[in-house]
Amino acid sequence: MPRKPLLLIAPLLATALSGCVVRTAVDVVAAPVRVASKVVDWTTTSQDEADRARGREIRRREERLGELQRDLVRREDDCLEGDDRACRRAVATRREIEILLPTIPYERDD
C-alpha cells in the first residue's frame, strides 16, 4: 500500500524539481547580464544627475561671485579712504570677478 501514494507523488515531485532546476539554470545564465547592467548603471551618469550637478556648480559660482562683489565694494571703500593695500586687493578681486563672470550663465528677465 505505501507504494501507491509514492507512485502518485513521484510525478509531482519530478515536475516541481525540474522547475527548480530550470529556474536555477535561468538565474545562472542571467546573472552576468544583471551584473553587467548594474556596472553600466554605476559607471554612467544620467541626464538628470548631470543637470543637478551642473545646477550645483552654477550656484556655487554665483555664491562666490556674490562674495567677491561684496569684498570689492568694501575694498574700494577702504581704497578711497587711502588704504593702498585695499586698492591692490580690490584690483585682484576685480580680476577674479572678470574671470568668473563668463562661467555663469546669463538669465534674461522676461
Instruction: List, in order, residues 6 or more apart from 65 with CB less than 8 Å away.
Output: 97, 100, 101, 104
CA distance 31 to 79: 69
pLDDT > 60? residue 7:
no
- What percent of the chain has a predicted confidence (pLDDT) above 90? 48
Give the pLDDT score at 99: 96
pLDDT, tens digit (0-9, with 9 covering 90-100), for 41-91? 777 777 888 889 999 999 999 999 999 999 999 999 999 999 999 999 999
Residue 96 reports pLDDT greater than 90: yes
Cα separation of 76 and 84, whole Å? Answer: 10
Contact 89, 73 (CB under 8 A): no
| pLDDT value of residue 34 | 80
